[in-house]
Amino acid sequence: MLVTVLLAALALAVVQLALALHVRNTVLDAAAEGARYAALAGNGAADGVARTRALIDAAVSESYARNVTASVGGAGAEVIEVRVRATLPLVGLIGLEAALDVRGHAVVETYG
């Protein structure tokens, strides 16, 4: 009986870790893709934020795409940064608010 309980707890812990890593990797990939999209000639920071939110909403949940920002900076070449602060799931999808902080970067395209 005790062994069964321990094995069940271990299995649930592994599943929870896999879920947390999935959410982190999905949000990170969405931030990077949003930065690449915003860096395209003719697009801007708002386009990258919208793209990032759409990707997170489609893959995980709309609640994970609430805190998405973009900024342009850099010395020499302009670089766009898309930052996502989301919940880190600890029990199911419930967890620490804004504990997951990921950023995606891309160099802004220019003409000529």
Q: What is the pLDDT of residue 112?
A: 66
Q: What is the pLDDT of residue 98?
A: 84
Q: What percent of the chain has pLDDT over 70?
A: 96
Is pLDDT above 80 for 4?
yes
What is d(CA 2, CA 71) in angstroms, rounded to the nearest whole number?
53
Is pLDDT above 80 for 111?
no
pTM for this entry: 0.87
What pLDDT, in 10s, does the model give residues 8-43?
999 999 999 999 999 999 999 999 999 999 999 889
